[in-house]
Amino acid sequence: KHVLNEFERSETIRRDFGLFRNKSITEDELSKSMYSKSLESEADVQGLGIYLKSRYKISELKGVFDELQYAAQPYGNTTFNKSFLESNNYKMPGSYQLKETRQVHAEDSKEKYDTHPQIKMRRDTILKLIKGMKDNGRQEYLVGKTEFENIREMSRFELNGIYLENRMYEATIYNSFLLSKAHPNNKYLEKCITKALYGLNKYASSGRFGEIHSDYPEIQGKQQEVYYFFRIMDPKEIAILASNYSWRMKKKYPDDEEISAITEDNFKILVDHYFSSRTFFSAFPDSVVEKDTLPRRIDFKSTSITPELKFIKGKLTLRGHHKIFIDTSAFSLIDVDKPLPQYCKFAFVDYMKDEDFKTYFDTIAKGKKERADIRKETVKNNSSVKSGDWMEDYMKNHPNPEIHGITKMVFVNPFYYKVDSRKDMPIRSRASEEAEKEFSNSIGKLATLSGLNYAIIDKKNLGEDSASDFNDIADLSTWVEEFYDHGNAIDFVNYKSEKFKAIIKKYNTPYFCWTGIAAVRTENLGAFKLIASCFFPPLLPLAIYKTFEPKYTTVQYYIVMNLATGKMEYLKVKEYKINDRPDVIKSCLYDFFKQLKPTASGNETTSNQ
| Tens digits of residue pLDDT in 1-51 | 655 555 555 555 444 444 434 444 444 444 544 455 666 778 888 889 999
CB contact at 8 A, 292 and 95: yes
Give the model's pLDDT for residue 424.
56
In the chain, count H helices and then E strands: 19, 10
Q: DSSP 3-state assignment of 577?
A: coil
Q: What is the mean pLDDT of residues 224-235?
A: 92
- For range 122-148, the mean pLDDT: 91
Residue 224 has pLDDT above 70, yes or no: yes
The one-letter amino acid at 371: R
Least confidently predicted of 114-123, 127-136, 163-172: 114-123
Alpha helices (H) along 279-409: 355-366, 368-381, 390-397
Higher pLDDT: 180 or 495? It is 180
pLDDT value at position 319?
A: 32
Count CB atoms within 10 A of the CB of residue 516: 16
Distance of alpha carbon 242 from alpha carbon 169, whole angstroms: 12
What is the identity of the amino acid at 200?
Answer: L
**Predicted local confidence at residue 317, as pLDDT:** 34
pLDDT band at 339 (very low <50, low <70, confident <90, very high): confident
Q: What's the DSSP call for residue 296? A: B
Contacts of 345 (CB under 8 A, 6+ apart): 280, 281, 282, 286
- Residue 33's contacts (CB-CB under 8 Å, 6 or more residues apart) are 112, 113, 114, 115
- Name which of 259-263, 422-426, 433-437, 519-523 the model is least confident about: 422-426
% of the chain exceeding 70 in pLDDT:
71
Number of C-beta neighbours around residue 576 at 10 A = 17
First-residue to last-residue Cα distance in the chain: 33
Q: What is the mean pLDDT of residues 585-606?
A: 65
pLDDT of 404 reads 76
- pLDDT confidence band for 600 (50 / 70 / 90): very low
Provide the pLDDT for residue 311.
31
Out of 76-85, 98-107, 279-288, 290-299, pick the least confident.
Answer: 290-299
- Exposure pattern of 361-384 as b/e (b: 16+ CB <10 Å)? beebbeeeeeeeeeeeeeeeeeee
Query: 99 and 81 in contact (C-beta within 8 Å)?
Result: no
CA distances for 48 relative to 52, 62, 317, 358, angstroms: 6, 12, 51, 64
The mean pLDDT of the chain is: 78
Q: Which sign does the torsion angle of CA 581, 585, 586, 590 carry?
A: positive
> Which residues 6+ apart lie within 8 Å of 38 measured at CB?
none
Q: Poorest-confidence range of 371-375, 420-424, 439-443?
A: 420-424
- Whether 489 shows a pLDDT value over 80: the answer reads no
Q: What is the band of 427 on the pLDDT scale with cuts at 50, 70, 90? A: low
- Tell me: pLDDT of 604 over 90: no
What is the arithmetic mean of pLDDT over 434-449?
Answer: 88
- Write down the pLDDT at residue 164: 93
Task: Tell whether the model's pLDDT for residue 530 goes beyond 50.
Answer: no
Element (H, E) at 156: helix 145-165
What does the angle CA 431 – CA 606 – CA 510 come to, to the nearest 5 degrees?
90
Q: Write the pLDDT tens digit of every residue in 284-301.
A: 988 775 567 666 666 555
Mean pLDDT of 485-489: 73
Task: Give the mean pLDDT of 95-124.
Answer: 72
Question: Any idea what DSSP says for residue 567?
Answer: E
pLDDT in tens, 571-592: 888 887 888 888 888 888 888 8
Cα-based angle 419, 423, 426 (whole degrees, multiple of 5): 30
Q: Which region holds residue 537: left if phi is over 0, alpha if psi is between -120 and 50, else beta?
A: alpha
DSSP H helices, 429-580, are 429-449, 467-486, 497-507, 527-533, 540-548
pTM assigned to the model? 0.77
Q: Name which residue leads in pLDDT, 595 or 293.
A: 595
∠ CA 515-321-309, rounded to 5°: 150
pLDDT digits (tens, 9 = 90+) for 230-261: 998 989 999 999 999 999 999 999 999 999 99
Model confidence at 262, pLDDT cuts 50, 70, 90, reads: very high
- What is the structure's pLDDT at 334? 39
pLDDT of residue 601: 42
Query: Confidence band (pLDDT; 50, 70, 90) for 423?
Result: low
pLDDT in tens, 342-366: 899 999 999 999 999 999 999 999 9
Contact 561, 569 (CB under 8 A): yes
pLDDT digits (tens, 9 = 90+) for 139-184: 999 999 999 999 999 999 999 999 999 999 999 999 999 999 999 9
Q: Do 159 and 175 meet the contact criterion of CB atoms below 8 Å apart?
A: yes
Q: Beta 408-412 vs 511-522: how paired, if at all?
A: parallel
Residue type, 17: F
Binned at pLDDT 50, 70 and 90, residue 399 comes out as: low
